[in-house]
Structures are given as C-alpha cells and as structure tokens.
Amino acid sequence: MAGLEDLYREIILDHYRSPRNRGELAVPPAHKVEGFNPLCGDEVVLYLELDPDSDTVTDIKIGGQGCSISQASTSMMSAAIKGKPAAEVRQLIRAFKALMSIHESKLEGEGDGSDLAAELAGVRLGDLEALQGVVKFPVRIKCATLAWNALQQGLEDIETADA
C-alpha cells in the first residue's frame, strides 16, 4: 500500500514542518510537564490547561526539539486532545500506546497483540494512525510515544494536585 504510506509520510512531515499549538501558557493555571528520550535526544515540553469544572483540556501548548517523529507526534497529540474531556484523552493515550505496542509485541514474538487490540476498539485515532509506520523501526517507537507519556504524567500530576 504505497499510496497510504505516502499519505502518512505527508501527514507526519506536515506536522513536523508546521507544528500545531506551539508556544507556552502561564503556569499556573497551566501545568508544565517535560519529557526526554535519551535514545534519540528528543525533548518535549507540554503546557496543559484543564478546566476543573468540566474536566476538559481547554488548552495545550507544546515546545521542545528533536527528530521529525517526536515533533510530529507531539504536534498531532496536541491537535487530537485540545478541547477533549480528560476521560477521552486518557482513552486516546491508551489506544495510541496500544497501537505502538501491538507491533512491538509482534516484533518480539509475544503473541498477536489481541489484548491490546481490545484497547483500540471503538477509539478513532484519525491522523494519529499515520504514526504506526514507525513501528517498523523499533528504536523510533520511543520517539513517537514520548509526548504521550509526558501527557499521561501531566494528567496524573494535575489529579494529584487537585486531590
């Protein structure tokens, strides 16, 4: 499916060249979280703003630098979660990580990933599916998941602070 791969490459390059939601937010009310991938030298900085009443991601800004996969994934993540309820964002995090690890477990010969496929059921990843091509290069999976791990950390930090 060369056509689909070309389309995916275009989506990734577009986000890399024109990252969405780049910038900073005032802390507080926003929460800042950073992530680092030592394997590749990728850095991400996220500014997350949640409305506590509606439990919705009202705003997100991104910063950092790194390879095209890490930067495109961060941009795509920010576009995918902005304005979404936190519960939906958590579902998206699980689905995205499942998308990455299904292929990882196949590569490592650990079953067919059907448990993980259940996580993906009913979640629309949209453009994010473009990133599944990176699983052919296992070393790049950490580049793609970096922003998502930072996002998960940020949500957990905010919950802990609210408790």
Name the site residues for Zn ion (rule: CB under 5 A). 40, 42, 67, 70, 143
42 versus 49: smaller Cβ distance to Zn ion: 42
* Distance in angstroms (rounded) separating the CA atoms of residues 159 and 33: 14
Strands (E) in 20-151, as ranges, are 31-37, 42-51, 56-63
- How do 42-51 and 31-37 pair as beta strands? antiparallel
Strands (E) in the chain, as ranges, are 31-37, 42-51, 56-63
* Distance in angstroms (rounded) separating the CA atoms of residues 151 and 76: 13
* Distance in angstroms (rounded) separating the CA atoms of residues 69 and 79: 15
* Distance in angstroms (rounded) separating the CA atoms of residues 69 and 146: 10
CB of 69 to Zn ion, least distance (A): 5
CB of 27 to Zn ion, least distance (A): 26
39 versus 118: smaller Cβ distance to Zn ion: 39
* Distance in angstroms (rounded) separating the CA atoms of residues 58 and 85: 9
CB of 68 to Zn ion, least distance (A): 8
CB of 119 to Zn ion, least distance (A): 24
CB of 105 to Zn ion, least distance (A): 21
56 versus 145: smaller Cβ distance to Zn ion: 145
143 versus 158: smaller Cβ distance to Zn ion: 143
56 versus 71: smaller Cβ distance to Zn ion: 71
